[in-house]
Structure 1
Amino acid sequence: MVHLFKQAGFDFGIAHCNFQLRADESQRDEAFVKLLAATLEVPFHVTHFDTKAYAKAHRSSTQMAARDLRYQWFEQIREQEGYAAIALAHHQNDAIETMLINLTRGTGISGLHGIAPKRGQLIRPLLFLNREDIEALIQREQINYVEDSSNGTDHYARNKIRLHVIPQLKAINPSLERTFAQNIQRFQEAEAIIQQTVADLRNRILKESPAGQTLQIEAIRALNPQSLLCYELLKPFNFTESLVGEILNAQERQSGTSFYSTTHRVTIDRQQLIITPIAAAAANNNCLIHPADAQLELPHHILSIRYEQGNTFFKDGKAYVDYDLLIFPLVVRTREAGDVFVPLGMKTHKKLSNFLVDEKVPLPEKDKIPLILNGNGDIIWVGGMRQDNRYKVQATTKKVAIFELKLKQ
């Protein structure tokens, strides 16, 4: 991208983030980009991040931490130096990978248009090229480059898709990139139509009240298609598609039933849904578990997640849960007033506060215990102590989710 910019006579600079994640390789990359800027005679901007410390402080994955840090810094440099835009070198294959990740994790139609060529100050001028095009240009123009060695591992979900899924799809359709580019265009046009419909609906049926924003259940039942439109209405409150499906299935439940996103709560209140924000402290205390996640770093623990076929379970301090009963994303948080669950071996609800008293948990430790919640708000596991009887492994269980907690050293 920078070579094309230079040939086109653009006035630009190069910004490089050293995330300090790959030891000597990180230093090699920084030296390479610095030399590249000097060779092209353009300004060079560099910064160093303690990415792991940031991820720990914000309870996010290393990938998400690096993403947040670089975009924040890019915008700072753009404003300080007076650049018109931030150019990113995403290409067609990146757009395909993004679409497949969104499909895997659950998405509305907005997740199907891949990567936008322009969003605010971000521009992506290479989306007309695929990876093979770029590699051919590099060979033809004899352009020197270095590669991040982590691109060759399948530790991250994106890499798994890149290394294992896309080659299989290309075997079926050698013109995969062109086909996806056409699909993305169609999805963008369909999204524009849907968003106009949703905006009209939101103005008409989403009402403000002293209790919060409300949606009448009667109005929800009249939606057609119901699932799609309800998801788009609730998406600004960070509810996933699977969780919206559970809300729709629960409209007949008793008043007071609640569902949680990372930022909001939906509560069934007679003939309406009430949408209220979660207190900032509680929202910051929520972490999400997606099906592809294998490990989550919590303030005091490391949570490991794995899945096995069959209905095996052991009494070894882990939680063995019937996978088919899970509604993703799951939520990990600490206790809140009013928490209840059905302890394993019991058939009735018990207040979490009473359970912790019975277990003689010291007061300072009570707020350190992670709770795993299903997407419908049910407590699945009081971390390291007792799981919920409703989610136990049974003879009919076909797949087991296994959760394990280990204290940080």
Structure 2
Amino acid sequence: MSRSGFFAIEKEFTRSLAGLPDGMLKEGFVAGISGGPDSMVMLHLFHLMNLPVTVAHVNYGQRGQESDRDEEVVRRAAANYGYDLRILKADTSELKKGNFQDNARKMRYRFLVEVMQEKGHGSISLAHHEDDQIETILFKILRGAGPGSWTGMKVWEEGLFRPLLNCAKYMIDQYADVKNITCRIDQSNLETDYARNYLRLVVFPELQQKIPGFRQNIINLPKIVSSIDESMAWIADRILDEDGRIPAGELLGMDTSLRKSLILYLVKNRFGGISLSAGSLDRLGECESLQTGKFLDLGYRIALYRDQDYFLLQASDDTDGGKHGTDAPGGATIRLPDLEKGSINIYGIKFEISTARMPFTGEWLQLDADRLPDELLLRRWDKGDRFTPLGMDGSQLVSDHLTNRKITGPKKKEALVLDAFDGTICAVIFPSPNPGKEAGTIDAGFALGEKCNRILRIETQ
């Protein structure tokens, strides 16, 4: 690495520190250190800047002696730098109850928070870098998330500090090598069974060869989204009345893309960062025919309500006017941790968590719960919803899939989807009864795997 390369990483680290809130440097940091190159370089830079740090390491014990060697490297580094150290020996039996990676991440975060509170530090420092940022954004795009979700991670975000976020991975590795920083390599990061590893090790090199500028293009997406948000904020500030209502003339006078962008911005800011699906946004074309007292169901329990000369966004549970279209439910949240305590019945559909595989009869759906997020949204399908039906090649619109399964007419409108809260369709649930007497179709990405420990079973008949 050239001398300018040294300066680039150290300068970026200094720039990240300069962007912290006042007083944060004196309060110090809890640094999550795994022993890998990224976190060990971060720890080295903290020491170089002579900043107060407590080192925190979690030994998951998944790799036997290799995990213990990771811990030893972290112990030695903390001692050499004169930093206090906290070690957590993870209970692997608890972590294996469900999605191991998800459980491990939550355990690590709880541990870091406990150390931060114990030591009186102001933030938790993590060694995410530019490649992690690219993976995060691209992952969201590939899973169908809308532009509102393309914001990625931030250097400073609600007590989390990521000082290396704008540094490329290869620069961090070279810096560690030239500076002789002792690091450990987790061999599981070289296995392509995990989706993120596959992106990093297989897809990215191919893209870099064929589209050299793809990395910067993805990194720029949050800036583009931010500039769009700024424009929408300017428009909203000028047309919304004091009650937050949108004049009908203003909304109906906008072209389609501007109307979608404004509603997307308002929903994201009023309802906790929700990003509407493409199908929900397409439904805004029905605004012209919406009569007073009616509303468009946009999914996620959000509705656009018509009140004479105005439109108003509000939670659909709070509306008492007639629904536009079918009377099927607008959405209900299903929490997998709640299902661990017992089955639940929503809209006549039974959901339960089980460890026993049942033979396929078509009367129920079975999904690998270890691949699912903790919360799912049961809602009506949207025009733009798309998934990859199990047993088929390629993706398919939910609308086309229902037609192919001979579910048409009024019954078609009653079909529901299980949404991962980011537009990813995990399953399509058919109305009951239906011609094939089937519960529905699951997305191939959530089919039962060989190592599946928990099964989400859905029964409609």
TM-score where L is the length of structure 2: 0.57
In 2: Cα distance, 1:8 partner to 1:62 partner: 36
Task: Find out whether 1:380 has 2:431 as its counterpart.
Answer: no
Give identity over the alignment, percent: 23
* Aligned-pair CA distance for 1:198: 6.5
Q: Alpha-carbon deviations, 1:59-87, whole Å to 9, x = none?
A: xx544444344334323322321223322
Q: 1:156 aligns with which of 178, 181, 194?
A: 194
Q: Alpha-carbon deviations, 1:53-110, whole Å to 9, x = none?
A: 57968xxx54444434433432332232122332221222122222222322344555
In 2: Cα distance, 1:137 partner to 1:30 partner: 22
Contact 2:276 2:298 in 1 (8 A): no
**Residue type of the alignment partner of 2:268:** K
Query: Mapping of 1:381-396 within 5 angstroms?
Result: 381=429
**Residue type of the alignment partner of 2:173:** E
Query: Mapping of 1:113-192 within 5 angstroms?
Result: 113-172=151-210, 174=212, 183=220, 186-187=223-224, 190-191=227-228
Against the structure 1 CA distance between its residues 135 and 388, is the aligned structure 2 distance closer, same or farther, given a 3 Å change threshold? farther
In 2: Cα distance, 1:265 partner to 1:184 partner: 26
SS of the residue 2:128 aligns to: coil
* Aligned-pair CA distance for 1:167: 0.9
SS of the residue 1:126 aligns to: coil
Q: Alpha-carbon deviations, 1:257-309, whole Å to 9, x = none?
A: 74532xx3437679766632779x9534379xxxxxxxxx9623650576555
Equivalent pairs, count: 337
In 2: Cα distance, 1:52 partner to 1:199 partner: 51
* Aligned-pair CA distance for 1:37: 1.7
Partner of residue 10, structure 1: 51
Against the structure 1 CA distance between its residues 25 and 227, is the aligned structure 2 distance closer, same or farther, given a 3 Å change threshold? farther
Moved more, 248-257 or 153-162: 248-257
Moved more, 1-10 or 26-35: 26-35
In 2: Cα distance, 1:46 partner to 1:98 partner: 28
Contact 2:146 2:277 in 1 (8 A): yes
Task: Find out whether 1:193 has 2:241 as its counterpart.
Answer: no
In 2: Cα distance, 1:20 partner to 1:282 partner: 38
Q: 2:262 aligns with which of 200, 209, 229?
A: 229
Contact 1:102 1:112 in 2 (8 A): yes
* Aligned-pair CA distance for 1:30: 3.0
Contact 1:96 1:177 in 2 (8 A): yes
Task: Find out whether 1:241 has 2:277 as its counterpart.
Answer: yes
* Structure 1 unaligned regions, length at least 5: 208-213, 288-296, 312-321, 328-342, 353-370, 394-398
**Residue type of the alignment partner of 1:381:** I
* Aligned-pair CA distance for 1:42: 0.9
Contact 1:52 1:62 in 2 (8 A): no
Contact 2:128 2:164 in 1 (8 A): yes
Partner of residue 136, structure 2: 98
Q: 2:303 aligns with which of 236, 246, 266?
A: 266
Q: 1:324 aligns with which of 372, 384, 397?
A: 397
Q: Alpha-carbon deviations, 1:384-405, whole Å to 9, x = none?
A: x977879999xxxxx9955767
Partner of residue 43, structure 1: 84
Contact 1:113 1:187 in 2 (8 A): no
* Aligned-pair CA distance for 1:18: 3.5
In 1: Cα distance, 2:250 partner to 2:435 partner: 34
Q: Alpha-carbon deviations, 1:314-353, whole Å to 9, x = none?
A: xxxxxxxx822269xxxxxxxxxxxxxxx9678654999x
* Structure 2 unaligned regions, length at least 5: 1-41, 319-330, 338-350, 356-365, 369-387, 457-461
Contact 2:190 2:197 in 1 (8 A): yes
Partner of residue 83, structure 1: 121
In 2: Cα distance, 1:300 partner to 1:166 partner: 37
Q: How big is the alpha-carbon RMSD for the aligned residues of Structure 1 and Structure 2? A: 4.9
Q: 2:335 aligns with which of 257, 274, 285?
A: 285
In 1: Cα distance, 2:226 partner to 2:306 partner: 37
Moved more, 75-84 or 26-35: 26-35
* Aligned-pair CA distance for 1:15: 1.2
In 1: Cα distance, 2:407 partner to 2:205 partner: 48
In 2: Cα distance, 1:235 partner to 1:388 partner: 39
* Aligned-pair CA distance for 1:9: 1.8
Contact 1:91 1:131 in 2 (8 A): yes
In 2: Cα distance, 1:201 partner to 1:376 partner: 34
**Residue type of the alignment partner of 1:303:** L
